Structure 1
Amino acid sequence: MRSNYVGAYLSWVMDSYDLGAVVITAAVLEKVFYPTLGLLGAVLPVVFTIVTRPLGGFLFGFIADIRGRKKALIATVLGYSLSIGLTGLLPTYAQVGILAPLLFSLLRILQGVFIGGDVSSSFTLAMESVPRWRGTFSGIMQSGTLLGFVLVDVLFTTLARSPDFIVEGWRYIFFIGVVPAVLALLIRVKVTEPKIYVEAKKDYPLKGLSPLWQTILVMIGFWVMIYAGPQFIPTYLGQALHLSPQTYGFLALIMNVIGIPAMIISGFLSDLIGRRTIGLIGVLVGVITATWFYMFGSPTLSSMMAFGFGMNLASAISPAYLAERFKTFSRATGVGFSYNGAFIVAGFTQLLISQLSAFTSVSQSANVVLGVGAALAFIGLTIGPETLRKSELST
């Protein structure tokens, strides 16, 4: 079962690498593809990527429940490998005009579908393959998102030193993204269906989605916090504070590096005192940390470390918590649509921040939106059950 977990972990690295590529290069992509839109052009690539994830999460989650986890995993990795590679080949607005943003937007939409679908089967496969210390493995797996961001941050910080970065250098970030995707594909060939899935009584997946409204509420809250927090930081530092790409790239790198142990610690603690308890604590710590940074802090090394640690505690429970909320015959569909369906709302987080910034400062706008996300996550967790040792996966 080792290949099951490793393959799923690499999915998470790839997921965040791709998203990190458009987040960290947002200020550059705005100039290359949307030169007339300003801050709106910087957030559109992120919006296009994440609002289409629910479709992929539902479609490939359904396939994973009906036809098997492995088949869905192979299909999604092929899709997002092709999409990220083609992004690096696109012509710019200066070269072909309106065709450039249209092609770029189309690839981001397709990427969202395949990445969303990948979550459904990779989350489910990993959590069904680890009978013990599922919370710890959940934290490790979720930290793979930060490893992907770290990789893209290192590349960005290195490549941004070149004076030609805005012309050609940004393309290499997308070309290199094909490498972990191919590696994930090679490992997935060895993936086997989890025993609990093989032995489970099959049924129509839509019959087992009663927890969906509560799990989506939790994930909307988590994702609004993330996209108004860590995923907004590169845009905030580059667009609002006008830091150089090298400077904000380095600060984002530090923020993501410190988030890795935060997620692992959070996952471990959830095995001791419960998923819901750690989730609630993480939400409170996150909103306090963000308020301090946006309202009173400055972009220093220490503030980025504190921000990265505090903002990554809550979401570490996501893989284990979601997998434990659904029965086996509907788990991939439930997990996939919970995690990705939240983007129907949360996907517009940064767009909302950009619109609110017309009336107040960008920092205040981000903090208000993040606070709303924290409230939603807190309510969702409070009304939902504790899942530690109380789910079908624990039997």
Structure 2
Amino acid sequence: MSSAKTTAKHTSPVKVALASFIGTSIEYYDFFIYGTAAALVFPQLFFPQATPLGGTLLAFATLGVGFLARPLGGILFGHFGDRVGRKRMLVMSLVGMGLATLGMGLLPTYAQIGVMAPILLTVLRLFQGVMVGGEWGGAVLMAVEHAPMGKKGFFGSFPQTGAPVGVALATVSFLAISNLPDEQFLSWGWRLPFMASALLVVVGLIIRLSIAESPAFAAARSKQSLVKVPLVEAFKRHPKEIFLIAGTYLSQGVIAYIAMSYLVNYGSNIVGLERDQTLFGVLVGAGVAAVLTPLFGAVSDTWGRKTVYFLGALLILLTVVPGFMLINSGTVPGFVAGVVIMYGISTAPASGTTGSLFSMVFSREVRYTGASVGYTISQIAGPAFAPMIATSLYAAFGTSDAVVVYLLVVAAISVVSVSLLPGGWGKAEARHNQEVTDRESDGEWSNAPKPASEPAPTQL
């Protein structure tokens, strides 16, 4: 047994899961404060020459630009994550994300340096996209591959729980300054959440440096079963799974960014609520999602990952209409309830199983790359420009019905995609997942094809 493998086994799965959760929370905090700022301050500070609608669309466009860089991050970090290790890539992504966010907090505005301000903002957002594109896959794999048998779903939900926690932290940071006079809020107040990222990154870095490498990667390295070009090999072995995962995640990602960014703007400018009231609604929704996500991760170990995700995708589809009816009520309780059911509750089953489902679809030699690429393709197709699309649809039709139809179409795509993923349903799926996990823990997964009598690793 190699020393790498032995060291990895000495790392507590709970410690690794918590490290993945904390690191992911910090990185998503960095990524999400941009979305909140794009809704509240960037139109005035970086696009003052545009109309209010035009400034909002441009700000949301820069939000989407970050997603365009995520596949590049997924490919780069996936390649080296499958070649040199998961842990090194996670440290690099955390440091890079923190530097980009701190740079945004120090960035001069349009009034100070003119057109260079939105250009530099866009460049930093692109760099953020590369970093977060490599973050998710590594954090999930560290948690899933360290997890004990029979608990892959539960431990795999910890990094995914970091997303709503990141939303909550981002929202709290803006709530803390939301009552500042507009002059102070727009001059220096908005910078504070970005500056706070530096301290959070130091904390996350200390935690991540304390954990060992993934035992699955250590085993692959000790058996010299690493592949030379993981991207090519991932598309060669799992082309269908990559694109089905992209479609599967679509609605979960879109709803999250609609709630976190678009609804903050929509609630303030269309519904007529105060800025702090819309932020409070998103905070409550994120809190509910953070509590429910690991619960559904644990349930997936018994019911099956694909089964629980399908129920979540279906729930997203069913809650869009009542969610917007509540949001359009014009009351704070209605707005909060709408965000909670449409985001906090409906996305939790899918979010809780995303980590284990998406990563375990792929053989371990290309797992970082396959999961990251499928996930980031979905980010471009869905969340990247969801707030901008929703804003444009409302402007064109003058009603939220157009936005609702858009979300229903997205949700339907996810329902179909997850149903087409390989594998059975219910407890039979869960038992098969366990058998595959047993084989991997015994070192049976390699580049060699499985005998015809055995189910392939992708049949999850």
Q: TM class, shorter-chain normalised?
A: over 0.9
Are 1:144 and 2:181 counterparts?
A: no
Give the whole-Å Cα distance in 1 for the aligned partners of 2:390 and 2:82: 37
1:343-363: CA deviation from partner (whole Å, max 9, x where unpaired): 221122222222222322352
SS at 1:125 equivalent: helix
**8 A Cα contact 1:286 1:313, kept in partner:** no
Map residues 94-243 of structure 1 onto 2, 5 A cutoff: 94-132=111-149, 133-163=151-181, 164-200=184-220, 201-204=225-228, 205=230, 206-209=232-235, 210=238, 211-243=241-273
Ranges in structure 1 where 5+ consecutive residues have no aligned partner: none
Map residues 228-377 of structure 1 onto 2, 5 A cutoff: 228-295=258-325, 297=327, 298=329, 299-300=332-333, 301-307=336-342, 308-346=344-382, 347-361=384-398, 363-377=400-414
Give the whole-Å Cα distance in 1 for the aligned partners of 2:399 and 2:65: 21
**Counterpart amino acid of residue 210 in structure 2:** K
**8 A Cα contact 2:68 2:380, kept in partner:** yes
| Residue 252 of structure 1, CA deviation | 1.2
**Counterpart amino acid of residue 84 in structure 1:** T
Give the whole-Å Cα distance in 2 for the aligned partners of 1:108 and 1:31: 18
1:296-351: CA deviation from partner (whole Å, max 9, x where unpaired): 54352433333322233322211110111011100000111111121221122222
TM-score (norm 1): 0.94
Q: 1:361 to 1:261 in 2, by over 3 A?
A: farther
**8 A Cα contact 1:349 1:369, kept in partner:** no
Q: Relative to structure 2, which stretch is displaced further, 270-279 or 328-337?
A: 270-279
Q: Which has the larger radius of gyration?
A: 2
Of structures 1 and 2, the one scoring higher in RCO (CA 8 A, sep 6+) is: 1
**8 A Cα contact 1:293 1:303, kept in partner:** yes
Choose the corresponding residue for 2:43, options 3, 21, 30.
30
| Residue 225 of structure 1, CA deviation | 3.4
Give the whole-Å Cα distance in 2 for the aligned partners of 1:131 and 1:232: 39
SS at 2:190 equivalent: helix
Q: Relative to structure 2, which stretch is displaced further, 363-372 or 65-74?
A: 363-372
**8 A Cα contact 1:225 1:371, kept in partner:** no
1:47-90: CA deviation from partner (whole Å, max 9, x where unpaired): 12222111101110111001111221122112111111111000
Q: 1:312 to 1:368 in 2, by over 3 A?
A: farther
Give the whole-Å Cα distance in 1 for the aligned partners of 2:56 and 2:27: 24
Q: How many residues align?
A: 395
| Residue 389 of structure 1, CA deviation | 4.6
Are 1:63 and 2:83 counterparts?
A: no
SS at 1:116 equivalent: helix
SS at 1:131 equivalent: coil
Q: Once superposed, what is the RMSD of the aligned Cα atoms?
A: 2.0
**Counterpart amino acid of residue 59 in structure 1:** L
1:241-289: CA deviation from partner (whole Å, max 9, x where unpaired): 2432211111111111111122122212211211111111111212222
Are 1:45 and 2:91 counterparts?
A: no
Give the whole-Å Cα distance in 2 for the aligned partners of 1:242 and 1:100: 30
Q: 1:30 to 1:165 in 2, by over 3 A?
A: same
**Counterpart amino acid of residue 207 in structure 1:** E
**8 A Cα contact 2:259 2:339, kept in partner:** no
SS at 1:6 equivalent: helix
SS at 1:191 equivalent: coil
Choose the corresponding residue for 1:4, options 8, 12, 16.
16
Q: 1:186 to 1:61 in 2, by over 3 A?
A: same
Q: Relative to structure 2, which stretch is displaced further, 350-359 or 73-82?
A: 350-359
**8 A Cα contact 1:131 1:393, kept in partner:** no
Q: Relative to structure 2, which stretch is displaced further, 59-68 or 230-239?
A: 230-239
Q: 1:314 to 1:184 in 2, by over 3 A?
A: same
SS at 1:342 equivalent: helix
**Counterpart amino acid of residue 105 in structure 2:** G
Q: Relative to structure 2, which stretch is displaced further, 6-15 or 90-99?
A: 6-15
**8 A Cα contact 1:271 1:388, kept in partner:** yes
